[in-house]
Amino acid sequence: MLSYRHSFHAGNFADLIKHIVLVEILEHLVKKDSPFDYIDTHAGVGLYDLRGPDSQKLQEYTEGVGKLEFDKLPEIDKYYQVIHSFNESDIINIYPGSPAIANFFLREQDRGWLFELHPKDFDLLRSNFSHSKNMRVHHKDGFDGLKALVPPPSRRGLILIDPSYEIKSEYQMVIDRVIKMHKKFSRGIYAIWYPVVDRQCIAKMERGLVQSGIRDIQRFEVGISDDSNNRGMTSSGMIVINPPWKLYEKMSQLLPKIASEITQVNRPIYKCEIIVDE
């Protein structure tokens, strides 16, 4: 399916959880001098102009990054620092997607691998990273691209998997590919983004991972309203395999605050769970 374009949704509440977790993992990886590889299976265009017609059509960023009061959330100073690096003032006009966030952290010895199948988005992605020596951009399905890159040359790596889930079979496809890749690269960090449109799909993903025998799996999720079959995406989350050792502690303190900022009901909605122990 090639109808989904993230430019209509950039900076929304789903991006918050995905990118805050992404920043935390990347901060952890750069603490060691040894190189690492970053693999992004569904990269989009990498940078988004919130003033453009796509973002303005739905204005989802107003219910996401636009709702945060960063001065009250010192825990995500680094996330804000990344965003601010793409903007000339405190007003957020340019929102960095996951490739731009990763590129912010990559050092000379690190490598990034970006996959995007949508032809227009691929052209924009390639243009946005044409001057990056660290990034390799591929017009290819990210699931197929993983086969040749896992395990990565560095033997250290973060694999971000965030398809659009436009078709329900993608939920099972994600689990199948993660299980296969984990057998080849068990030490890698796998970050799986998911939308909560149908909670049963997420429960099935969780069961698949638990039954796979993979250890050390955590889940971080925030929502704007209770689960509903009639409302569209009500929550969004990240399942992380081999998370940094302090990630759970930090997210357990942070998620209630983020959820309180973005909620559309009278209470914060979030999950911070250990799905499988180490």
Q: Which of 162, 176, 216, 226 is catalytic?
A: 162
Alpha-helical runs (H) found in the chain: 13-29, 53-58, 77-84, 98-105, 119-128, 142-149, 169-184, 199-212, 247-262
Backbone angles phi, psi at 147, to 5 degrees: -55, -40
Largest CA distance in the chain: 48
Residue 31 CB burial class (10 angstroms; 0-12, 13-18, ≥19): exposed
Distance CA(114)–CA(69), nearest Å, equals 31
Which candidate, 117, 173, 125, 120, places its Cα nearest to that of 145?
117
Cα distances from 248 to residues 40, 210, 234, 238, 239, in angstroms, run 22, 18, 22, 12, 12
CA 55 to chain centre: 19
Instruction: Name residue, tokens 């449109």.
Output: 197
| Run of H or E including 168 | none
In the residue annotation, 162 being an active-site residue is answered as yes
Task: Give the catalytic positions in this structure.
Answer: 162
